[in-house]
Chains A and B, each alone.
Chain A
Amino acid sequence: MAAVAAEDTELDLDALRKEAETLRSRLEEERRKSNDVQLRDVASKLELVPPLQMKVRRVLKGHQGKVLDMDWSTDKRRLVSSSQDGKVIVWDAFANKQERVLSMPTTWIMSCAFSPSGDIIACGGLDNKCTVFPIDKDLENPERKRRTIAMHTSFMSCCRFVKSGYQILTSSGDCTCALWDVDSSQLMQSFHGHISDVLCLDISPVHCRTFLSGSSDKTASLWDIRTGRCVHSFDGHDGDINGVRFFPTGESFVTASDDGTCRLYDLRADREVALYTKDCMIFAATCVDISKSGRLMFAGYNDYTVNVWDVLKCVRVGRIYAHDNKVTCLQRSPDGTAVCSGSWDTTLKLWA
């Protein structure tokens, strides 16, 4: 009986695999049909962007280990950074001052986030958790009031607050993302589908219903926050996707990958629409963000530079020798006036 059951299972599995193959070919065909023109050809008649005049305006020194992540506050002035050294620092970027230094019991804090209200910091990493600290002005010892919000079964690669600030999204090396309630620490939704570590996430700037994740399975996925369903899945990259960011309309997004390229995907066309690379570029792209109008894309690389790309013309318009070691994180300020980059060289720098 067992042998027959095993054979049935084999046949079922075979039938399912064949159906998957047919569906995949159909999807490829549909996506090919919609690819009637190249973005860079459509944009060829556009004027070139004005010459970049960005310089380093602030150097934030204070971490004693590699800077792994940073997040701006909605007040456009403060930002938080986390490091391999186990510290999370809240900076006043205008004044170049450290407002708070929070110590975590573990090293390798791979991600940190500022709540929209500006009075809570979330962080975590190799400890597999997401921890929150209140940081209101008058609080003497924020470390005493820290709480664990999220638990994964592998490292937490990224954490971000949703717009309301009541929930946090996390991504993890356990191949899942999860949504947690900040007050109760309850798991509200989990997102399964990736087959390898999820390395980054970005929440839609337009509404709170969807978010993107990038994974070392070389795909980026769009998720419905409420149902937990994967709405779209995009491949194309030849390496881990380290960074993902929505275009301001929420209808496209850019990715940064270990394969040295950045790509632009469109959700309505359901495919990759642009590739940002040069022959000489072999170093991994680790982080990416877009300027306020969507025209410029900033990407940080393992060759210590930040490259600036014209999103529409698909050409590089600037190369910043930003740091003395790998660039690990990069984020444009909320009002679009500056870009902050963080690096293994232990510093953060502001460019404007």
Chain B
Amino acid sequence: MQQCEADCHPDLQADCSVCALSSTAAKYRHSNNMSNSIAQAHKTVDQLRFEAQIERIRVSKAAADLQAYCEQHARDDPLLVGVPASENPFKEKKSCIVL
């Protein structure tokens, strides 16, 4: 039996509602697959045909565009460049100490 999402002990799986739910879902899917194999195969082929006719760009172009976006917006990214404590509501405001 696969790892329970509730992390229950293997001995307690019979009582665990999360385990019961996933095994019911698995049985539901299995019986559906058996009776719909032709319909499923048609759907798969249709989907693959649809995906095959998509126009693709090269990774070099995609990479260049990603890089351009990052560079263009770097200055406005508080987590990247940091903002002074006075402007960041989550940073503590330090008061001046007279020594």
Interface pair A269/B59, CB less than 8 Å apart: yes
Q: Is the interface of B mostly helix, strand, loop or mixed?
A: helix
Enumerate chain A residues within 8 angstroms of B44, measured Cβ to Cβ.
16, 20
Closest chain-B Cβ to A197's Cβ sits at a distance in Å of 7
* Cβ-based interface call for B98 (8 A): no
Interface pair A293/B59, CB less than 8 Å apart: no
Interface pair A23/B42, CB less than 8 Å apart: no
Question: In the assembly, what is the distance between CA of A295 and CA of B28, in Å?
Answer: 42
Picked from A42, A196, A230, the residue with its CB within 8 Å of the CB of B64 is A42
* Cβ-based interface call for A103 (8 A): no
* Cβ-based interface call for B12 (8 A): no
* Cβ-based interface call for A208 (8 A): no
Closest chain-A Cβ to B36's Cβ sits at a distance in Å of 11
Closest chain-B Cβ to A352's Cβ sits at a distance in Å of 4
**Which chain B residue lies CB-closest to A58?**
B90
Enumerate chain A residues within 8 angstroms of B37, measured Cβ to Cβ.
13
Interface pair B41/A42, CB less than 8 Å apart: no
Interface pair A175/B29, CB less than 8 Å apart: yes
Give 1 or 0 for each of A28-60: 1 = CB within 8 Å of chain B CB: 001100111111001100100110011001100
Interface pair A292/B59, CB less than 8 Å apart: no
Picked from B28, B59, B69, the residue with its CB within 8 Å of the CB of A294 is B69
Interface pair A293/B41, CB less than 8 Å apart: no
Question: In the assembly, what is the distance between CA of A35 and CA of B56, in Å?
Answer: 10
Q: A337-B88, A352-B90 are in contact. Are A293 and B70 (CB under 8 A)?
A: yes
Closest chain-B Cβ to A130's Cβ sits at a distance in Å of 16
Picked from B25, B59, B78, the residue with its CB within 8 Å of the CB of A337 is B78
Interface pair A336/B78, CB less than 8 Å apart: yes
Interface pair A269/B48, CB less than 8 Å apart: no
Enumerate chain A residues within 8 angstroms of B61, measured Cβ to Cβ.
268-269
- The number of residues on chain A lying at the interface, defined by a beta carbon within 8 Å of a beta carbon of chain B, is 75
Closest chain-A Cβ to B35's Cβ sits at a distance in Å of 12
* Cβ-based interface call for B45 (8 A): yes
* Cβ-based interface call for B47 (8 A): yes
Q: A13-B37, A16-B41, A270-B54 are in contact. Are A153 and B28 (CB under 8 A)?
A: yes
Interface centre among A54, A196, A230, A352 (most CB of B within 10 A): A352
Q: Is the interface of A mostly helix, strand, loop or mixed?
A: loop
Question: In the assembly, what is the distance between CA of A57 and CA of B41, in Å?
Answer: 53
* Cβ-based interface call for B60 (8 A): yes
Closest chain-B Cβ to A331's Cβ sits at a distance in Å of 13
Question: In the assembly, what is the distance between CA of A271 and CA of B67, in Å?
Answer: 17
Question: In the assembly, what is the distance between CA of A291 and CA of B52, in Å?
Answer: 33
* Cβ-based interface call for A154 (8 A): yes
**Which chain B residue lies CB-closest to A154?**
B25
**Which chain A residue lies CB-closest to B78?**
A337
Of residues 24 through 39 on chain B, the ones whose CB sits less than 8 Å from some CB of chain A are 24-25, 28-29, 37-38
* Cβ-based interface call for B6 (8 A): yes
Interface pair B25/A37, CB less than 8 Å apart: no
Question: In the assembly, what is the distance between CA of A195 and CA of B49, in Å?
Answer: 19
Enumerate chain B residues within 8 angstroms of A38, measured Cβ to Cβ.
59
Q: A13-B38, A23-B49, A249-B69 are in contact. Are A57 and B91 (CB under 8 A)?
A: yes
Interface centre among A57, A153, A295, A350 (most CB of B within 10 A): A295
| 11 more A-B residue pairs beyond the given contacts A57-B90, A294-B73, with a C-beta to C-beta distance below 8 A | A35-B58, A42-B67, A173-B22, A197-B22, A233-B51, A252-B62, A269-B56, A293-B69, A293-B72, A296-B77, A296-B79
Listed by A's residue number, 20 A-B pairs whose Cβ atoms lie within 8 Å are: A13-B41, A24-B48, A42-B63, A43-B63, A58-B90, A154-B24, A173-B21, A174-B25, A229-B50, A232-B54, A269-B59, A269-B62, A270-B54, A273-B63, A293-B69, A294-B66, A295-B77, A311-B70, A332-B79, A352-B90
